[in-house]
Structure formats: C-alpha cells, structure tokens
C-alpha cells in the first residue's frame, strides 16, 4: 500500500485536522470497497503533482473519489470528536483544594503510617485494592449511582459505616490519582459530616507506587 502512503504525504492541509494514522486506514477502507483502480490513478496524479495548487486541482477534478473521501473524513471526524470529548471528560482532574479539609501528598501520608488516630481509606474497586494498597488502608469502594461526562454532576455512595465515628481522628482518602473523583467525593462527604481532620491524597495510588513506597 505504498502508493496510499505516498498519496497521504501530499495532504499537508489535512494532517493538522486528522492524524496520519487515521488517514492511512481511511484510504485502506476506500481500497477495500472496490476503488483500487480509481485510487491508483488518483494517487499517481497526486504524487506527480509538484505543487499544492496542482495537488488540490487533482483533488477537485476527481469528483467521485472526492465525494467518497469527504464523506468518510466527515464521519471519521465526527466519531473522533465524540470519542475525544468523552475521553477528555473522563480525564478531568479533581480540584487542588478541599474546603474544610486538606490536600496532601504521598510523602505526607507516608509520614503518618503507624500513627494512632490515623485512618486511611482506599476508595478504589476491591480488585484494585487487592493488587496493592497503602499499608494499613481499609478498602471502602466508592460506587457511582449516577454517571455523567461532567464529574461535578455525578453522584455515588459508599459504606459510610466503615468510616470511624471519631470526628477528631485523622482521615486520609485516596483512589487512583488526580482523576480519582471517588476519593475526592468521599473526602468531601467527611468534611460535610463534621470530621475535623480530613486529608485528601490527590496523587492517589499512582503517586504512591511511582515513588516506590511500601505497599501491601
């Protein structure tokens, strides 16, 4: 399929919009829908064009390939934009501040290990907890009740009975990392329910493991 790749190398105006990887598969699709002969001629003309003006002339002059190509590009762009928006929403990071509580680092939590009156809660799924967690942490999986692209509109719950009733104790909440909204909401719940020393380890298990701290 070298002629397709060579053809793509002349699409300087399209590359900023659609990545090269997508375009290669786009033209592979065109090839497999019985346009091999037409595409060969089209690609050769584009390759032989010495200027962008000539290249665009070939594109505009070949109405059949242009119509099918544009249709596929539009469909690909629509799908890509939809997928990208969902992925971006899913990766939206949590706030860097916790009103009524405190955002702490993995180093801060490490210094608290073994101290009395300190309770560490892992809000991830039980299966992830089993793969490794902060020493002494208690698993309290946070479950989403209502999911939404915007984390601020989500609602969830967890077994609050597993949280200490001592409102003066130090509570540490963590989940996966900066995109771990489960632990953020759990920490916010603790603040709203009158706990005085609520700590949110925002960098989560990802930060803990990246620093090669001990885990269970």
Per-residue pLDDT of 128-159, as tens digits, reads: 999 999 999 999 999 999 988 888 788 999 99
Per-residue pLDDT of 43-94, as tens digits, reads: 565 555 555 555 555 555 555 555 655 555 555 555 455 544 444 444 789 9
Q: Report the pLDDT averaged over residues 104-111.
A: 96
Closest CA to 182 of 147, 144, 209: 144
Question: Is there a contact between 187 and 97 (Cβ–Cβ < 8 Å)?
Answer: no
Q: Report the pLDDT averaged over residues 31-35.
A: 51
The Cα 76–Cα 56 span in angstroms is: 21
Question: Is there a contact between 54 and 113 (Cβ–Cβ < 8 Å)?
Answer: no
The mean of the pLDDT values for the chain is 76
102-210 belongs to which CATH class? Answer: alpha beta
The Cα 43–Cα 27 span in angstroms is: 10
The Cα 156–Cα 207 span in angstroms is: 24
What are the residue ranges spanned by the domains of the chain? 2-90, 102-210
- The reported pLDDT for the residue numbered 29 is 55
């Amino acid at each position: 399929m070298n002629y397709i790749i060579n053809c793509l190398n002349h699409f300087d105006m399209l590359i900023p919009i659609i990545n090269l990887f997508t375009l290669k598969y786009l033209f592979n699709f065109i090839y497999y829908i019985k346009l091999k002969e037409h595409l060969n001629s089209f690609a050769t003309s584009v390759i032989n064009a010495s200027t962008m003006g000539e290249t665009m002339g070939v594109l505009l002059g070949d109405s059949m390939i242009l119509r099918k190509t544009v249709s596929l590009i539009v469909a690909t762009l629509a799908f890509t934009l939809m997928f990208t928006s969902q992925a971006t929403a899913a990766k939206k990071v949590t706030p860097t501040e916790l009103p009524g509580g405190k955002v702490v680092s993995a180093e801060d939590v490490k210094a608290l290990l073994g101290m009395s009156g300190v309770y560490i809660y892992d809000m991830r799924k039980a299966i992830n907890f089993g793969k490794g967690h902060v020493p002494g942490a208690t698993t309290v999986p946070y479950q989403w009740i209502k999911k939404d692209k915007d984390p601020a509109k989500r609602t969830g719950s967890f077994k609050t009975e597993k949280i200490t009733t001592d409102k003066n104790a130090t509570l540490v909440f963590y989940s996966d990392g900066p995109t771990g909204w489960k632990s953020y909401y759990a920490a916010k719940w603790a603040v709203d329910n009158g706990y005085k020393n609520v700590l949110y380890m925002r960098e989560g298990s990802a930060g803990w493991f990246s620093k090669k701290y001990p885990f269970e």
